[in-house]
Amino acid sequence: MKQFFFLPVVLLILLSFRCGAQELKPLNQEWLAKDYRSMELVSLLASPAPLTTQKILDILDVSDKDDAEEDLGFGATRFNAGRGHGYTSLSVEAFVFRGAIGWYKLELHSSPESWTRIRERMIELWHQNNGPGFVEGERGITHIERDDSVLGNYQTAVAAELGAMKPAAVSAELQKSFDSLTQPMEIDYVGSGEGETAIAALVNAERFDLVENVLRGFNPNGRIYAARELLKLHKAGHRILSADTLAVIAKISNLDIQITTARGCLVNRLDAKDILDDSDP
């Protein structure tokens, strides 16, 4: 009886695999041709050294510069532009300070299902077009490089206006949260789950010294998170802020940049002052 039951089960499993295989649709050859042609752009985007944001837009054939750039203040911008082809998209994300690129990401992106089927040929073309070294994930390949001298110059410019971060040890448990709130290419809008979780971790640990360092950090969204939490605590009488800290918050509030906020499906671009007004003591 056991053998009689086992054989039909095995047959059903084998049939299910065959049915699954039969459902795999042929790849669209027109789409593939677009993907293959797009790899010719890789040689032009392989290194940020000769590039400007305008050159990147021209190479990718992206016309709207306003949508691609975000002003971070203090002479820095965050740049993100990409173009879809067939099954893939080719994109560049960069941190730029006074015209110099300090952080650069070149990414070939697809769906996990499509990437499994096209990866071998796409990687071959990447290499043929002198593509840089990369890390492969389930959705494609990514190349990242950074120029610490450019990032250092930006940090110096921020510190000149907001004051330098004060020495403070960061525990291993809080390192990821602190970094995500202070690094310019991390949290990219206010209202993200990552940002809310990161600032909550610092506040719940009562590491207000770290929160005040985030206030002087290098991510405009992280600074908003820190300012908002400190103002709430000040207003509730749980923590009295120094005149220096209040002065830094005032500078952040009056920066001539807009902050991207998201609540559910609603995305807005607001002045820092408008976001912080509800927390103002």
pLDDT in tens, 204-246: 999 999 999 999 999 999 999 999 999 999 998 888 999 999 9
pLDDT of residue 11: 47
DSSP-assigned beta bridge partners for residue 77 = 71, 96
pLDDT of residue 277: 81
59 pLDDT exceeds 90?
yes
pLDDT of residue 67: 80
pLDDT of residue 64: 79
pLDDT of residue 50: 87
- Check: CB of residue 215 under 8 Å from CB of residue 255: no
Which residue, chain included where needed, has tokens 């820092």?
272
> How does pLDDT run across 111-151, given as a tens digit for each residue?
999 999 999 999 999 999 999 999 999 999 999 999 999 99
Domain ranges of the chain: 28-149, 166-279
Strands 88-97 and 69-73: unpaired
Cβ neighbours for 123, distance < 8 A, ≥ 6 positions apart: 136, 141
More confident residue, 19 or 234: 234
Q: Can you read off the two tokens belonging to residue 167? A: 């020495």
pLDDT of residue 6: 44
Strands (E), the chain: 69-73, 76-84, 88-97, 100-110, 135-137, 140-146, 258-263, 266-271
pTM: 0.84
Dihedral class, residue 99 (left if φ above 0, else alpha if ψ from -120 to 50, else beta)? left
Which residue, chain included where needed, has tokens 């990437």?
115
Q: Which of 123, 122, 121, 94 is nearest to 106 (CA)?
A: 94
> How does pLDDT run across 92-106, given as a tens digit for each residue?
999 999 999 999 999
Q: Which of 95, 194, 210 is nearest to 147 (CA)?
A: 95
10 pLDDT exceeds 90?
no
Residue 3 has phi, psi (to 5 degrees) of: -65, -40
pLDDT of residue 4: 42
DSSP-assigned beta bridge partners for residue 143 = 106
Q: Can you read off the two tokens belonging to residue 3? A: 């053998």
Q: Can you read off the two tokens belonging to residue 135? A: 């890390």
16 pLDDT exceeds 90?
no
Residue 240 has phi, psi (to 5 degrees) of: -90, 120
Cβ neighbours for 25, distance < 8 A, ≥ 6 positions apart: none
